[in-house]
Chains A and B, each alone.
Chain A
Amino acid sequence: MESGFLEFVYDFYKSMKAHEIKLVYEGRVTQQITKAFIALTEAQMKENAEASTVQRKVFHVMVECLQNISRHADEYESGESQYAGKGIFMVSRTEQYWCVTTGNAIFIEKVKELKDMIEQINELNEDELKDLYVRQMREGRLSTKGGAGLGFIDIRRKTKKKLEYNFLPITDKVSFFLLTTYIPRTS
């Protein structure tokens, strides 16, 4: 074991406590993982007597975010590792918010389209978002992966907050896409 590893674990623990990180995971996101994480977070929220409306919204956001990673995270090779369907998933909390954060690799050529889509969704008001959702549902065919491009619109509508995101370069072909969603704890 590397020297200082246990100290690292203790620091990591302190960071998690300080940021009230309830769940953090790095790796492949499968349906089993999705089910386990929502069950775990639901149990935590029940224990904390979180309002049921808040619980439902957190549940919604978690499912869409996890399914986004499992369906859309791109594969890239770094040494011997393959990163398809993998990413980081984190649930944390503040006084005011529950916070769901995801990060996954995406090919550079897809970045612009994704960024434009998020920007467009961020600029729409509630009625426009509803119209877009309906239009996507009618016209958007489910791909073989099952995604319908509806997840982002749904998250934006359920939380009534703008999507916060960033793209950070991993290699010249791949970017790391980060998305954070805040769910207000007072409804």
Chain B
Amino acid sequence: MEILKIESTEDSPQIVLDRESNILEISGRSLPEDVNTFYEPMMSWIEEYAKDPLDVTVFNFKLTYFNTASSKIILDILTQFEEMIEEGHEVMVRWHYPEEDEDMMEAGEEYSEMVDVPFEMVSYS
């Protein structure tokens, strides 16, 4: 599968989706002008990946900020993982948050309640 790598900008996150190296990560800030257009390549990649995923899929969210429009996209991604689990695949999410950022921690906890996907909360300084 092709590697999808998108560099971060001041209003959009870095995305690295690399099946061979087992790196699935989104990090940084997400407030792009048009979330649907920005996230389209990522959504397509994940859809393709879901057809033939790794034995264990670990997806890392390392966002420092996301706007409400992006929050809906994050739920769409998590819903895709939920479907993969229903199909018998093993998927887990690592939700990284700055240790002093309560809102980002709570956001992760809320997502973990919304979908049937195992979450590991990871704080960093």
Contacts and interface: CB of A to CB of B under 8 A. Distances in A.
Interface residues of B, number: 20
A146 B100 contact: no
Contact of B36 (A52, A138, A142): A142
A120 interface: no
B74 to A, nearest CB: 9
A67 B67 contact: yes
Contacts of B67: 60, 63-64, 67
Interface string B69-88: 10110010000000000000
Contact of A140 (B34, B72, B101): B72
Contact of B68 (A64, A134, A138): A64
Interface size class of chain A, counting residues whose CB lies under 8 Å from the partner chain: 20 to 34
Centre residue among A31, A53, A146, A158 by max chain B CB count within 10 A = A146
Interface string A28-64: 0001001100010000000000001100110110011
Given A134-B110, A146-B69, A63 B35 contact: no
Centre residue among A63, A140, A151 by max chain B CB count within 10 A = A63
Nearest to A155: B68
A158 to B, nearest CB: 7
Contacts of B72: 137, 140, 142, 148, 150
A114 B51 CA distance: 43
Contact of B65 (A59, A130, A146, A150): A59
Contacts, number: 59
B55 interface: no
A134 B114 contact: yes
B48 interface: no
Given A35-B10, A130-B110, A134-B110, A56 B36 contact: no
A134 to B, nearest CB: 6
A75 interface: no
B35 A53 contact: no
Interface string A123-147: 0000000100010011010100011
A93 B22 CA distance: 47
Given A56-B103, A60-B65, A134-B114, A146 B35 contact: yes
Contacts of A148: 68-69, 71-72
Interface of B: 10-11, 31, 33-36, 65, 67-69, 71-72, 75, 100-103, 110, 114
23 contacts: A34-B11, A34-B31, A35-B10, A35-B11, A39-B10, A52-B100, A52-B101, A60-B67, A63-B67, A64-B68, A67-B67, A67-B69, A138-B75, A140-B72, A142-B35, A142-B36, A146-B34, A148-B69, A150-B69, A150-B71, A150-B72, A153-B68, A154-B71
Given A59-B65, A148-B68, A154-B68, 4 more contacts: A56-B103, A67-B69, A148-B72, A150-B68
